[in-house]
């Protein structure tokens, strides 16, 4: 619960009107928006041991919500819920376990983004935007959705998100006043710019940035920058193909794959995309499990082998040295790049009644 401990302490500090961003905290420095500290302040009224238990139980409850919402939004026909949800959780259990161990907030963010996706698919764009905006204060990961909403011309979603962000920036005024809030916001941006660069090439970072930097042994050379730009460009181009290529399947069926694709981009495009952050691939994995029959036998075998790598690369199975090699070389990023490729291929064929 070390990560939850950081947020618990931030909740205490904001209630006391103290600064949130302290270099003296070292690796356990608070890095989220000031408004998020006000959320965690609710837990600071209770003893630490009780707060931990409550956060753990809430995380399990929210995980159940993620599973239920993900099953709701995937295209029909669907396999039985117990089979599809069970297999998805089994494949993603390594990341779920680490998330719970650290007391992280990613499960809550995934729940918010999946709820926003459900509203987005139902054309309730304003509320989808509001929920999307709330997620940005827990972590700014979901900014990856911003250009997507703009390209889709879903202006109500953008407006709802922008209004929520504005309100969120003003919430800490209650703790610091207007001038103090401006200082804290400046400290937040400063802490992000100072702490992020030195963590880009560490072993547990599996973002696209980390993959390139590890190949070049931490040197941001011209070739590394070109490779990074090329990789990001190809990933973006694939998304554009999904969005604008003419297809015979319905808009809702296309858009749920696009939204799942965007969620996988969160750990890939975040400068600090830790291995366990690939929990954001939950919806994408469920979609692929549900539609395996749409692929050829060869691609099915590749997809299943990839699922085994995603879920089965445990230290207890690989051993200490091989697990460290797997982690330090960010192989999980390659597995989810394959997940993205399969989502794109999935969009090249229409849905059929026998797919599930």
pLDDT of 154 reads: 94
At 252, the pLDDT band (50, 70, 90 cuts) reads: low
The pLDDT assigned to 71 comes to 96
Q: Tell me what pLDDT residue 353 has.
A: 46
- pTM for this prediction: 0.92
* pLDDT tens-digit series, residues 278-328: 999 999 999 999 999 889 999 999 999 999 999 998 888 888 889 888 888
How far apart CA 330 and CA 204 sit, in angstroms, is: 7
Predicted local distance difference test score (pLDDT) of residue 61: 97
Spatial contact of 137 and 167, defined as CB atoms under 8 Å apart: no
pLDDT at 172 over 70: yes
| pLDDT band at 218; cut points 50, 70, 90 | low
Rounded to 5 degrees, what angle do the CA atoms 130, 114, 185 make? 45
Decide if pLDDT at 65 tops 60: yes
Bigger pLDDT: 20 or 68? 68
**247 pLDDT exceeds 50?**
yes
> Using alpha carbons only, what angle is made at residue 335 by residues 105 and 236, rounded to the nearest 5 degrees?
80
Is residue 227 packed enough to be buried (19+ CB in 10 Å), middle (13-18) or exposed (0-12)? middle
pLDDT at 355 over 70: no
What does the pLDDT average to over 90-118? 95
pLDDT of residue 11: 92
For the stretch 262-273, pLDDT in tens is 999 999 998 778
| Residue 309: how many other CB atoms lie within 10 Å | 16
3-state secondary structure the chain: CHHHHHHHHHHHHHHCCCCCCCHHHHHHCCCCCHHHHHHHCCHHHCCHHHHHHHHHHHHHHHHHHHHHHHHHHCCCCCCCHHHHHHHHHHHHHHHHHHHHHHCCCHHHHHHHHHHHHHHHHCCCHHHHHHHHHHHHHHCHHHHHHHHHHHHCCCHHHHHHHHHHHHHHHHCCHHHHHHHHHHHHHHHHHHHHHHHCHHHCCCCCECCHHHHHHHHCCCCCCHHHHHHHHHHHHHHHHHHHHHHHCCCCCCHHHHHHHHHHHHHHHHHHHCCCCEHHHHHHHHHHHHHHHHCHHHCCHHHHHHHHHHHHHHHHCCHHHHCHHHHHHHHHCCHHHHHHHHHHHHHHHHCCCCCCCCCC
Tell me what the mean pLDDT of segment 41-53 comes to.
Answer: 93
On whether the CB atoms of residues 209 and 228 are closer than 8 A, the answer is yes
Q: Is the pLDDT of residue 354 over 60?
A: no
For residue 327, the model assigns a pLDDT of 85
Q: What tokens does 75 get?
A: 């295209």
Share of the chain above pLDDT 70, in %: 92
pLDDT above 90 (res 244): no
- Residue 299 near residue 342 (C-beta atoms within 8 A): yes
Long-range contact list for 201-205, CB < 8 A, 24+ apart?
203/324, 203/327, 203/328, 204/274, 204/275, 204/327, 205/272, 205/273, 205/274, 205/330
What number of other Cβ atoms are within 10 A of residue 149's Cβ? 21
Domain boundary assignment for the chain: 2-346
Spatial separation of the C-alpha atoms in residues 108 and 102, rounded to whole Å = 14
Rounded mean pLDDT, 158-164: 96
Instruction: Provide the token pair at 124.
Output: 């309730």
């Amino acid at each position: 619960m070390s990560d939850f401990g950081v947020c618990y302490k931030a909740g205490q500090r904001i209630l006391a009107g103290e600064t949130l961003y302290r270099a003296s905290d070292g690796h356990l420095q608070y890095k989220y928006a000031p408004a998020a500290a006000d959320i965690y302040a609710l837990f600071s009224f209770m003893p630490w041991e009780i707060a931990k238990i409550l956060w753990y139980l809430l995380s399990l409850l929210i995980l159940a919500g993620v599973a239920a919402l993900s099953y709701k939004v995937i295209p029909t026909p669907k396999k039985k819920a117990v089979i599809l949800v069970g297999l998805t959780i089994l494949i993603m259990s390594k990341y779920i376990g680490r998330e719970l161990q650290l007391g992280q907030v990613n499960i809550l963010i995934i729940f918010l983004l999946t709820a926003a996706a459900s509203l987005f698919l139902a054309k309730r764009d304003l509320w989808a935007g509001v929920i999307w905006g709330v997620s940005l204060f827990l972590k700014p990961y979901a900014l990856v959705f911003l250009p997507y909403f703009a390209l889709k011309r879903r202006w109500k979603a953008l407006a709802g998100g922008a209004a929520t962000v504005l309100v969120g920036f003003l919430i800490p005024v209650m703790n610091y006043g207007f001038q103090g809030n401006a200082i804290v916001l400046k400290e937040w941006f400063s802490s992000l710019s100072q702490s992020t660069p030195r963590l880009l090439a560490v072993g547990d970072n599996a973002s696209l940035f980390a993959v390139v930097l590890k190949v070049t042994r931490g040197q941001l050379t011209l070739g590394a920058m070109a490779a990074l730009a090329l990789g990001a460009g190809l990933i973006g181009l694939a998304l554009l193909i999904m969005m604008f290529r003419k297809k015979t399947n319905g808009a809702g069926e296309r858009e749920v794959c696009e939204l799942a694709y965007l969620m996988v981009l969160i750990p890939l495009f975040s400068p600090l995309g830790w291995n366990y952050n690939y929990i954001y691939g939950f919806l994408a994995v469920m979609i692929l499990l549900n539609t395996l029959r749409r692929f050829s036998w060869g691609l099915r075998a590749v997809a299943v082998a990839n699922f085994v790598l995603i879920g089965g690369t445990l230290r207890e199975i690989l051993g200490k040295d091989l697990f460290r090699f797997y982690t330090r070389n960010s192989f999980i990023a390659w597995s989810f790049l394959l997940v993205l490729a399969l989502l794109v291929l999935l969009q090249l064929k229409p849905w059929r009644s026998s797919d599930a």
